[in-house]
Amino acid sequence: MMNGVDRRTAAACPRTAARDSLYTPVRVVELDLDEPGELRSPGGLGPADPDGRVLALVRLHGHPLGLVTATGTAGDPATLRRALVDAAHRELRVPSRSTATPAAQPRRVGRARARADRPTVTVVICTRNRPRALRRCLDSLLRTDYPDVEVLVVDNAPLDDTTRELVRTRYRDQVRYLREPVPGLARARNTGLAAARGEICAFADDDLVIDSHWVAALAEAFEADDRTGCVTGLVMPAELDTAAQLALERYGGYSRGFAARSWSLREPPDDPLVRYSVGRFGSGANMAFRTAMLRSIGGFDPATGAGTPARGGEELLAFFSVLNGGHDITYQPDAIVWHCHPRTEEALTRQIFNFGVGFGAYLTAAVSRRPDVLADLVRRVPLGLWRWQVAHRARRHAPSCEAVPETVPGLGRREIEGLLYGPFGYLYSLWHQRTARSGAWSR
């Protein structure tokens, strides 16, 4: 990604306001090489005519290929488009310009084929007091090109009826409304899972813009292999308007790359840490499961997740249970969503801390469920921490990040602090739940 601020200047700025004043926003767009004459906003929600610094997700025949950057000039969109197309062919190794035309190769036929036996997909969106974000998310989701979709909104411990009224008035015949009175993302997801009618249950955050092919891409990954129990997808930034948002991308973001992958424990894995370092599989913002399988493993642990002292980790524990239960996990980058990153340094720092807390909580929950893995896990902790440090340094010094300033120092330290707090957060969450149940029974 490109940024016009010198790294040394930005790193020397101690205040968020100073960093933001030096930061040049980066406009995020989509570039489809089948239609290179137009740039589109994230999620394909209309044409984009940006100027200044631009980051483009490049797609060909529906597949995401990677990211390129260029700088545009107001009033000259054609030059910007040509620069992005040239960068795509140069940096992403597109075979030839002829393949970038619809006549050379049609868009993915798999998405367009009609099948009588295609699985029904339930999409669960959990939300709490964010009707504006939810509306944008639902509007994008309901453009899906997949016909067999059920959409559930789970309102988690809301402060008022705004979300219920939004669903009732704007999406009456398209979205089913559910209410989960107890705070906690895992509880809300379990409420959606219990009500799901589809063979596949997908989960999306309410602060996403969802690609119209997202549901189809998830379903196709399940159809390709009966052994797949979970599918995750590509999470892209919906905007890079602030220094904090770009700092999250520089730190690692939510993306897991542009190559499809699968993981299984049927044979000894090349990486002995694969059964524990499940964050590599994807993000809870973009994941789907076979409904019956997810129910069979107990869904999500209600002592984890946002809204509890554990602050996260519910999706990591689900990934762990799926993989160690003998099922495959597949990463499908064709399943694209666009995420709204934290806009302020304070929110970013809190988010990174929560990442660490969630991971520590997940490891604690995994050991409590599978005590047999404790000795193996403890033996591999030093290797895992060393690899984390190596990967973090690699991200910081990757060629694509060289022009990105270190806008928020100390994020790695905050994640480690969260990791150390995570076990205590999970145990406190368990204690809090048991105390609440005991109080309810005593009454």
Q: Are 299 and 193 in contact (CB under 8 A)?
A: yes
Max CA separation in the chain (angstroms) = 73
Q: Which residue has the tokens 């310009």?
A: 97
Q: Nearest 10 degrees: CA dihedral of 129, 130, 132, 138?
A: -110
Q: Are 265 and 326 in contact (CB under 8 A)?
A: yes
State whether residue 168 is helix, strand or coil.
Answer: helix
**pLDDT for res 435:** 80
389-392 long-range contacts (CB < 8 A, ≥24 apart) are 392/251, 392/252
Q: Is the dihedral of CA 80, 82, 88, 90 positive or negative?
A: negative
**pLDDT for res 1:** 35
Mean pLDDT, the chain cut into blocks of 10 residues (443 residues total): 31 42 88 94 90 94 94 90 94 65 40 66 97 97 95 97 98 97 96 98 97 97 97 97 92 91 85 82 97 98 95 96 96 98 95 95 93 77 57 49 55 91 95 72 39
Which CA distances in Å does 278 have to 70, 225, 267, 295, 437?
34, 20, 17, 20, 31
**pLDDT for res 7:** 28
Tell me the Ramachandran region of residue 388: left when phi exceeds 0, alpha when psi lies from -120 to 50, beta otherwise.
Answer: alpha
Count of alpha carbons within 13 angstroms of residue 189, beta-carbon side:
33
**pLDDT for res 295:** 98
pTM for the full model? Answer: 0.87
Helix extents (H) in 297-443:
314-324, 345-369, 374-396, 411-442
Q: Which residues pair with 180 in a beta bridge?
A: 156
Consecutive H or E run containing 295: helix 291-296
Q: Nearest 10 degrees: CA dihedral of 215, 40, 402, 4?
A: -150
